[in-house]
Amino acid sequence: MALQGVLVPHPLQPPVAEELPRLGAGGVDCRRCEEGDAGALWSDEHWIVRTLDQPSGLPMAAFLETRAHHDFRDLPDELAAELGPMLIRVQSAVFAIGDIGNVHVCRWGTGVSTSTSGSWHGPPASRS
């Protein structure tokens, strides 16, 4: 189905003078801190892997989060060095489920004060 008619973008809103406080900033009202390891798929002293609370329609959706409150730009060197291998471990675990066509790794963090990388996993591989 093709678009019909003219596609007109809306003008951007001007930048805000000050952003809203991030959820969990300074450990206050932080869902990750409050829940601890409840519902975690895996965790260690630096990282926690969790999934969604409700089904999403995807075969799997997993989130790798830092335990400590860091944004990616201020990850300590030790955590930054662990990030890539951790993402590969999560990806490998998802592919081990079987019949996963692709693993998409994305970065979230706006609005929360822990570094979050999500792995959204696509439909089963084509059987052509």
Domains, the chain, with CATH or none: 29-121 (3.30.428.10)
φ, ψ of residue 119 to 5 degrees: the values are -115, 105
Separation between Cα atoms, residue 13 and residue 27, nearest integer Å: 31
Between 94 and 21, where is the model more confident? Answer: 94
Taking the CA atoms of residue 28, residue 33, residue 35 and residue 41 in that order, the dihedral angle to the nearest 10 degrees is: 150
Record the pTM.
0.71
pLDDT value at residue 32: 78
Place of tokens 């965790």: 43
pLDDT value at residue 85: 93
80 CB-near residues (< 8 Å, 6+ apart): none
pLDDT (tens digit, 9 = 90+) per residue, 43-94? 999 999 988 888 888 888 888 888 888 877 788 999 999 999 999 999 899 8
